[in-house]
Amino acid sequence: MPRFRDGMWLPAENMWVEHAEQVYYTNEKPDGKGLNLLCPTKTIESRGHTLNRSTITMDVYAEADGIISVEATHWAGAQIKGPHFELFPQGRPEVTAAISTSDKGTTLTSGSLAVTVDPSNFDIRFHSADGSKRLTSLQARSVGLAYSPAPSNPMQTGDMRDFKHYMFTQTSLAVGETVHGLGERFGAYNKVGQSISLWLSSKGYGIFIDTPARVDLEIGSERCTRVQTAIEGQRLKWYIIYGPTPKEVLQRYSTLTGRPGKVPNWSYGLWLTTSFTTNYDQDTVKSFLEGMKERGSPVDVFHYDCFWMKAFTWTDFVFDSERFPDPKGQIAQLKESGLCKKVCVWINPYIAQYGAAFSEAAEKGYLVKRKNGDVWQWDLWQAGMGLVDFTNPDAVTWYVEKLNGLFDQGVDCIKTDFGERIPTLDVEWHDKTVDPHKMHNYYAFIYNKIVYEALQARYGKNQAVLYARTACAGAQRFPLQWGGDCESTPEAMAESVRGGLGLGLSGFSFWSCDIGGFEGKPPAWIYKRWVAMGLLCSHSRLHGSSSYRVPWVMDDDDQSEEGCSRTLAKWTALKGRLMPYLFAEAQASIAQGLPLSLRAMCIEFPDDPTSWYLDRQFMVGPSILAAPIFEESGEVEFYLPKGKWTSYFTGETRDGPGWFTETHGFGTLPLYVRENTVLVLGSEKSIGAVYDYTEDVEVRLYGAQEGARASLVDNDGNEVGILEVGADGEVKDTSALKGEFTVKKV
């Protein structure tokens, strides 16, 4: 999308730009919950100025407590084509809205958030309802429309075939304000100066842009003091979401776009894959799982990547009979022998021409078409592949039937790869009301929703889990997402951390990465450092491209504590022990729309300015801080916010705030527990992610004061008890615990 201006004052070359200059009319909506503003693009000083003039209509509406929508429209007669985001999927909450007028302008209040419109000089200010906190504003020359190419006179736009039309707003950026979130992006953590699409501010608010179409953002880049949001079309709508804390912003965002879905406890265990282009068959799979079990890293979920199907046939949902002659029997045997608990397979929404499914899908109209009626095909990825048209209900039914065939063979979960290469030109969808440009992004939502709901229908509401590559707003309802195709380098590992932090700040509770990196074979030291980081993610998967990720391929050292096999076993065991804490905190994260792990430091410590810049460390839930190591030497620098912190491994305490440097082997890293924490750990004898989280547990009290508490949950995530510290510093009631449990102060 082009930039609209050349510096501060001039329009960009061949660009016509107009700005709203004044609020001419301010009208109250009939329901008393919104304002309608008529904004001419020139100050009206006489009746003659009302002629031959563009206007921008702005609708400001109280959507929910702490949420106000803003819609800027040029021509209201333009078609509003779908698809549209599914907003308030849990139901629209009641909102207390009020409109008042004073010498400062007209104020619309939506619970804790308010907006004041000063018509005298085009000033639209967003602030807390009590007036104590200024958030952002739309000021002079901050709401506008643009044409490209620039018409020689306004009458030329009567024929719009030769013009592109854009709408934009520019919200103000305060001194020192930082911007975060923006989905899974691997660049700089603070997004000021970047061009991206969704944000959360250090000033206590977030912005959600309500369109699946392409959005262009200039965050302090076109103008240093503004965030410019632009789309092609006649309407631009976004929601401002008040906190004031990041936790409150994310909770309200999840009310707007959907709470994260719940995933089963077995999914938190170790995942192992075949890798991508490696050579494998039924015997390879069995040998890998046996080797992992022998080396103390039992696998909870085994994943078959693309070549479970024959080459040139993806995705036809048929196992390669030469390599996997009895998939149902083998899957059952793997589970019965205890080599894995669950099985996952790879799919994508593309149907290769050579595969058995193509002719059926093409004949029945289940594939996206070109405008001349041909099936839309190309040779990128799979030769002659078509794209499943999920706007066709019959195609959805057919696709789900194919998935059910996999479930019948024992497949428990699905890796929904791809979904991002969705054509926008020369495309005709079954649903003629959709805009192909919007479908490009929204397709990921439909694709993952269909597969996730198919899993729910087969296995139960809380037993569905995906490994999804693509996402858009609302896709947090269909977990989980992973950051795929990273390189096997320390730089890529750091990029992965930034990606996970960004996705967590965008309303997603669960995230994973390719441990060891995807491209290339990692040196043993990178593999081990990545294992430590990856086993502290909510979900942990060993996956590569052209090389396997079993530890004995990385080095031949199965015995020493610093070898790959023992390192993986240690971190797998640690995650297993953390499951009572992780699974309980997962339920709280879902309810609040928060990330479970790779939780950005600013979520827990928003009043600490340093926390908004920390992109190489994260919180695991609210109570454990982790700082991955990116150096072979084991040296790491990390920051501890205010308070007393205790090393999980050594029991050493440190006082924050402050920066610290440590050197670690491969079996540890800076893993610090926050003071006033009740940490419930599984027994050292527990294996994997699934066991009774109330039996034979170890309860550690880290400087726990009266009122500190921990939730106890069962294997379905239901709360079965609470451990709370009393006035004497001891846990008041341990009746929910079973077996030989211990409680100790640390």
Specify which residues 579 forms β-bridges with.
none
Q: For residue 573, give both structure tokens.
A: 């065991």
Residue (of 636, 644, 594, 637) closest to 619 by Cα position: 594
Q: How far apart are CA 746 and CA 250, in angstroms?
A: 33
Longest CA span, the chain: 88
Q: How far apart are CA 446 and CA 475, in angstroms?
A: 9
Q: How far apart are CA 325 and CA 282, in angstroms?
A: 8
Q: How far apart are CA 96 and CA 29, in angstroms?
A: 15
Half-sphere exposure of 512 (CA within 13 A, CB side): 28
3-state secondary structure 35-104: EEEEEECCCCCCHHHHCCCCEEEEEEEEEECCEEEEEEECCCCCCCCECCCCCCCCCCCCCCEEEEEECC
Q: For residue 255, give both structure tokens.
A: 């009310």
Specify which residues 69 forms β-bridges with.
61, 239
**Number of alpha helices (DSSP H) and beta strands (DSSP E) in the chain:** 11, 39
Of the residues 123, 232, 320, 485, only one is catalytic, namely 485
Burial 350-371 (b: 16+ CB within 10 A, else e): bbbbbbebbeebbeeebbbbee
Of the residues 412, 417, 495, 604, only one is catalytic, namely 417
Q: How far apart are CA 69 and CA 36, in angstroms?
A: 12
Q: How far apart are CA 651 and CA 339, in angstroms?
A: 35
Rg value, the chain, Cα: 27
Q: How far apart are CA 476 and CA 478, in angstroms?
A: 5
Q: For residue 242, give both structure tokens.
A: 């008040």
Residue (of 254, 198, 257, 111) closest to 592 by Cα position: 254
Q: How far apart are CA 608 and CA 642, in angstroms?
A: 8
Estimate to the nearest angstrom the gap between the alpha carbon of 612 and the chain centroid: 18
Of the residues 28, 320, 420, 696, only one is catalytic, namely 420
Q: What is the secondary structure of 637-687 as a DSSP string?
A: EEEEEEEEEEETTT--EEEEEEEEEEE--TT---EEEESSEEEEE--TT--
Residue (of 392, 415, 418) closest to 403 by Cα position: 415
Q: How far apart are CA 728 and CA 705, in angstroms?
A: 9
Annotated active-site residue 379? The verdict is no
Annotated active-site residue 728? The verdict is no
Q: For residue 387, give both structure tokens.
A: 């794209």
Annotated active-site residue 177? The verdict is no
Q: Which residues are catalytic?
A: 417, 420, 485
